[in-house]
Amino acid sequence: MVSLDVDDTIAAIASAPGPGLRGIVRVSGPRTVELVEALFEIYDSRAFPNRLRPTSTRGQLTVDEGLKVDIDLYLWPTKRSYTRQPTAEFHLVGSRPVLEMVLNRLCGCGARLARPGEFTLRAFLSGRIDLTQAEAVLAVIDSSGEQQLDTALRQMAGGLAGPLGAIRDDLMGTLAELEAGLDFVEEDIEFITRSQLLEQLERAGEKLETIQQQISLRDRGSEASRVVLWGEPNSGKSSLFNALLGTQESIVTEVAGTTTDFLVGELVLKSMKLDLVDTAGAEERSEYVSSQAQQHRVEQQEQADALLFCIDSQRQPTPWEKEQLSKLTNACVVVLTKTDLHDLESMRLTELSQQIRSFGFDGPMVATSSHSRAGLDLLADEISLAVINSQSADQSIVGTTVLRASESLRDATAAVGHAKDAVIHHLGDELVASELRRSLEALGQVVGAIYTDDILDLVFGRFCIGK
């Protein structure tokens, strides 16, 4: 069970277990400065830490029977610290026994051993961070790759808290206007019109549905981002699939319609694990491809973090390709395939590139040959960049937040939808206000504005001591 008592002073070893050149002992709470002044001997007495602003200095701390340890002291004496309580860190030699001696000395003089996650819990209770950011702190600690770390850092910086907070503020403003009108119903004073109310609810609902989609994609059960090959039949998708993977997983043929479903292969680029997906051709005829295969193609396209739109460089773009090129987003790379065939001249590639630009596509474009592997290194760079840009735009969410917040966000979205229906069908402002309060309560549970001991145990129980 987490402790909500923030009136005592806590201490713990904050550096990672095991041997290391340097180690950290962290202390936070009302008596922090008192403990520092009592136990820490400054090398230069004139440099004693300032009580009004963060400072750092060097000195010694007596830990056991005259044993003194050289220490770099970092002190945050005011509410400007991580926990919003006076906080200090002792940086010293990374010997575990020595670190434990320093910790025992602090505990012997009035501090107590911190529980798992208690420093971050205090940051949450003081309003320094919300629950989504607390989960991101743990995700940063547990990250095993650049992609996971980047996702966690974005969420810790407010990548989820910011949008949810803005939605919650908007809904609270709407509710305030609605309830003001209910208070003055006899005076026939209208603080918000029906059209304004409906517009605000629709805007909030759209934002919540966007976040719901992000969570749905994040909850697919895989940490890998999805890169989908897309285009006309016989446009070189399957050959490119094999070339990028370095395998012959996909059957390659000159007969349009060979790929009748979709294939998935694991691709690793710049420390990112990606799922590369080869789909059926977008314009394949029903005699070649089932409606189910076409549905799979659409689903993969919708779930893609990045699209590789393949165009056969040996021919002119088709009307369908022209239409699609005008709709493609920044998360798409146009791939000109089969550039090795018939000694395709650079002038022809230049003309084709200009033609594609004229259709409205202004994103990255790469000429490739699956046979000679020309352009594949450049394509790999563009794929990595497209995935990163897509993740930044989507404000990806760490897995622990997905598991905890999914139900609450569904409830919030549903409540806003019910409020909108109540407005449309003239069911009364009291019902609209009730649904808005339900939505606000659900959002409050996500960010931690409303919480229970069980929720805090779920979030902070996974932390290690010292964090």
Residue 287 has pLDDT above 90, yes or no: no
Residues in CB range of 6: below 8 A, 6 or more apart: 29, 85, 122, 125, 126
Quote the percentage of the chain above a pLDDT of 90: 29
pLDDT digits (tens, 9 = 90+) for 217-271: 555 444 567 888 988 888 889 899 999 988 655 444 444 544 445 688 888 876 6
pLDDT digits (tens, 9 = 90+) for 25-42: 999 999 999 999 888 888
Highest mean pLDDT range out of 122-136, 207-221, 253-267, 330-344? 122-136
DSSP assignment of 265-298 equals EEEEETTEEEEEEE---TT--TTTS-HHHHHHHH
Ranges of each domain in the chain = 10-130, 143-448
Average pLDDT over residues 147-163: 78
- pLDDT recorded at residue 216: 65
Residue 344 has pLDDT above 60, yes or no: no
pTM exceeds 0.85, yes or no:
no
- pLDDT recorded at residue 323: 87
Q: Tell me, what DSSP letter sits at residue 42?
A: E
CA 376 to centroid of chain Cα atoms: 29
- pLDDT recorded at residue 46: 62
- pLDDT recorded at residue 416: 94
- pLDDT recorded at residue 360: 83
Residue type (1 letter), 289: V
Phi-psi region of 270 (alpha: psi -120 to 50; beta: other; left: phi over 0): left
Average pLDDT over residues 158-182: 86
CATH assignment of 10-130, among 3.10.310.10, 3.40.50.280, 1.20.1640.10, 3.30.1360.120: 3.30.1360.120
Q: Which of 174, 136, 236 is nearest to 467 (CA)?
A: 136
Q: Which of 84-98, 228-242, 321-335 has the lowest mean pLDDT?
A: 321-335
Average pLDDT over residues 292-319: 75
Q: How far apart are CA 44 and CA 86, in angstroms?
A: 22
- pLDDT recorded at residue 452: 77
Average pLDDT over residues 309-329: 86
Average pLDDT over residues 195-213: 88
- pLDDT recorded at residue 153: 79
C-alpha to C-alpha distances, 223 to 108, 155, 159, 217, 272, nearest whole angstrom: 45, 16, 18, 10, 10
Q: Which of 224-238, 338-352, 354-368, 401-415 has the lowest mean pLDDT?
A: 338-352
- Topology adopted by domain 143-448: Rossmann fold (3.40.50)
- pLDDT recorded at residue 255: 44
Instruction: Tell me whether strands 332-337 and 306-312 are parallel, antiparallel or unpaired.
Output: parallel
* Residue, of 344 and 173, whose pLDDT is higher: 173
- pLDDT recorded at residue 200: 92
Phi, psi at 226, each rounded to 5°: -110, 125
Provide the angle, in degrees to the nearest 10, between the axes of the packed helices 399-424 and 453-460. Answer: 140
Residue 191 has pLDDT above 80, yes or no: no
- pLDDT recorded at residue 92: 94
- pLDDT recorded at residue 185: 57
- pLDDT recorded at residue 254: 44
CA atoms within 13 A on the CB side of 134: 32
Instruction: Tell me whether strands 67-76 and 87-93 are parallel, antiparallel or unpaired.
Output: antiparallel
Q: Provide the terminal-to-terminal Cα distance of the chain, rounded to the nearest Å.
A: 16
- Residues 317, 319, 321, 324, CA torsion sign: positive
- pLDDT recorded at residue 342: 52
DSSP assignment of 222-234 equals -SSEEEEEEESTT
- pLDDT recorded at residue 329: 67
Confidence of residue 295 (pLDDT cuts 50, 70, 90): low
- pLDDT recorded at residue 298: 59
- pLDDT recorded at residue 330: 60
Q: Which of 87-91, 197-201, 213-217, 287-291 has the lowest mean pLDDT?
A: 287-291
Residue 293 has pLDDT above 60, yes or no: no
Query: For residue 27, what are the β-bridge partners?
Result: 11, 88
Contacts 24+ apart (CB under 8 A), 5-8: 6/85, 6/122, 6/125, 6/126, 8/111, 8/112
Average pLDDT over residues 295-311: 73
pLDDT digits (tens, 9 = 90+) for 43-59: 876 656 667 788 888 99
Residue type (1 letter), 393: A
Residue 377 has pLDDT above 50, yes or no: yes
- pLDDT recorded at residue 341: 64
